[in-house]
Structure 1
């Protein structure tokens, strides 16, 4: 009787782990292509606004949002852009209400989708 309960618990745990693994596969949020800009060499994706932010501490543009080839010092400046607002209200908007401010893009084994930089 104890063995039957153990088998059921183990089967439940195994199926849960399998489902979580499947949910994680291919569920990365899509991002815009990484900007090619010499003023910033490290980038972080802003999931709320669907834009890249300069994450290069040595850059004059550190912390600025980047959209349409332009830097925006504040979110307010970004939201004032007619081009950005058209993008945000379009079906091609790449932002999400699912956010994790600690997520950065990086390359390398085991890094997943996190931080890009030079």
Structure 2
């Protein structure tokens, strides 16, 4: 096997491992019924973030059936504060490959 083939095999293997890591079934379901067609998991905050450039909600965070226009507005929400301090908090999974996308194009 040539060096190029070995390199490509390694890259493909790493990509597959990363892609598998992105499909974390323990994450909450991707929000539906919103004006956002592409969601990305915001691992630090443990919520979904709208990643749809064409949406009026681009960059907004979603938690508890509500959209938040900024991290500060999310963090001041009492329901979110309870979630973040609970054992059901899904955040804190930072690092390369820890994100997840959903929706159209995700």
Query: Under a length normalisation based on structure 1, what TM-score does the superposition of the two structures give?
Result: 0.63
Structure-to-structure mapping, 1:1-118, within 5 angstroms: 29=24, 30-100=26-96, 104-105=99-100, 115-118=101-104
Greater CA radius of gyration, 1 or 2? Answer: 1
Give unpaired runs (5+ residues) of structure 2: 1-13
- 1:38 is displaced (CA, Å) by 3.1
The runs of at least 4 aligned residues of structure 1 exceeding 2 Å deviation read 24-30, 97-100, 102-105
TM-score, structure 2 normalization: 0.69
Bigger strand share: 2
Deviation of the 1:27 alpha carbon: 5.9
Q: 1:41 Cα deviation (Å)?
A: 1.0
- TM-superposed CA distance for 1:104, in Å, is 4.8
Higher relative contact order (CA 8 A, sep 6+): 2
What stretches of structure 1 of length at least 5 have no aligned partner?
Answer: 1-20, 106-114
